[in-house]
Structure 1
Amino acid sequence: MKNEKGNSDKFDSMPFFALIHHISKNRLRYTMKNPNHIDMVHEGRYLMEIHKKKNLSQDDLAGIFGQSKGTIAKALRKLEDNDYVERIIDENNRRKYMLKTTKKGEKLAVLLIEDLNEWERSVGIDELDDNTKNQLKKIARRSEELLKED
């Protein structure tokens, strides 16, 4: 694809995975410029997911994001220390913690989701058709399955 001046740019020769990485890296950089940000590498993503899905456990979060339980616990500790989430012992399994956003966490999660939606509109992600989105999900699943086969 040619740029505005009709010349090729760095994206023309960039491998697909590098494009995905570039998009992800720029999303994080964009987030860090926003005054509502918290560490979007971990904490912000987790906070938004806890906000969206009720009855989520620490283990569920680890599975969703492909992170270790230790990484999740460390991030949740930060969120808890800043009064964004609560960890509540599951009454059916005393070794399991269920996650809940606090009022402060709800407010921040809504701001972060609005910021994410605005960024997706700005870069055109919201214009992707369902087929493209489903194909990307399929690739993500296959890449995870390859690791499980080892």
Structure 2
Amino acid sequence: MTQKNDEIDKFDSMPFIALIHHISKNKLRYSQKNPNRIDMVHEGRYLMEIHKRKNLSQDDLANIFGQSKGTIAKALRKLEDKEYVERKIDENNRRKYILKTTQKGEELSILLKKDLEEWEESVGIDKLDEKTKNQLREIARKSEEILNDDY
């Protein structure tokens, strides 16, 4: 237990899920400090995913992030307006949009990835072993499965 001036460190008594939330919230706050970047709550994460995966559709993005199609559409509009992303109609399905990063979007994706890696290194996430990372991924999967099973 970490103590400062006979006080209990808040993180020692914080439930595990609250720790995860706290880490996530602080990462977003950290991202927002840089005025040359974009909203990492949604837009930045979406842009990085579009950059990483080829032939990703708008629906795929909604499924990956567990967001509504409306939320995804709004964020994509902003990314298009800023000229980071292009939406093209899928030749095989005219109701489906395929997403692609523009050159400007590619450059920003690389910067965002670098920022993420620097942050993860500065807080120690990069030191987690693969077993721990896989355990956290499995917890995330199960938490989503429970929701899908209940509804």
* Aligned equivalents of 2:109, 2:6: Cα separation in 1: 41
Residues 2-23 of structure 1, C-alpha deviation per residue, up to 9 Å, x if partnerless?
2577863110000111100100
Q: State the superposition RMSD in angstroms.
A: 1.4
Query: 2:133 — aligned with what?
Result: 133
Query: 2:55 — aligned with what?
Result: 55
Of 32-41 and 84-93, the range deviating more from structure 2: 32-41
Change (3 A) 1:138 1:27: same
Structure 2: gaps spanning 5 or more residues: none
* Aligned equivalents of 1:112, 1:3: Cα separation in 2: 35
Identity %: 77
* Aligned equivalents of 2:6, 2:52: Cα separation in 1: 43
Displacement of 1:89:
0.4
Change (3 A) 1:21 1:60: same
What residue identity is the alignment partner of 1:60?
D
Query: 1:13 — aligned with what?
Result: 13
Query: 1:144 — aligned with what?
Result: 144
Asked whether the equivalents of residues 51 and 106 of structure 1 are also in contact (C-alpha less than 8 Å), the reply is: yes
What residue identity is the alignment partner of 2:48?
M
Change (3 A) 1:30 1:75: same
TM norm structure 2: 0.95
Once the two structures are superposed, the pairs formed by residues 71-90 of structure 1 within 5 Å of their partners are 71-90=71-90
Residue 93 of structure 1: SS of its match in structure 2?
coil
Displacement of 1:35:
3.2
Query: 1:114 — aligned with what?
Result: 114
- How many residues end up aligned between the 2 structures? 150
Residue 83 of structure 1: SS of its match in structure 2?
coil
* Aligned equivalents of 1:5, 1:89: Cα separation in 2: 62
Residue 94 of structure 1: SS of its match in structure 2?
coil
What residue identity is the alignment partner of 2:92?
N
Structure 1: gaps spanning 5 or more residues: none
TM norm structure 1: 0.95
Residue 88 of structure 1: SS of its match in structure 2?
strand
Asked whether the equivalents of residues 47 and 101 of structure 1 are also in contact (C-alpha less than 8 Å), the reply is: yes
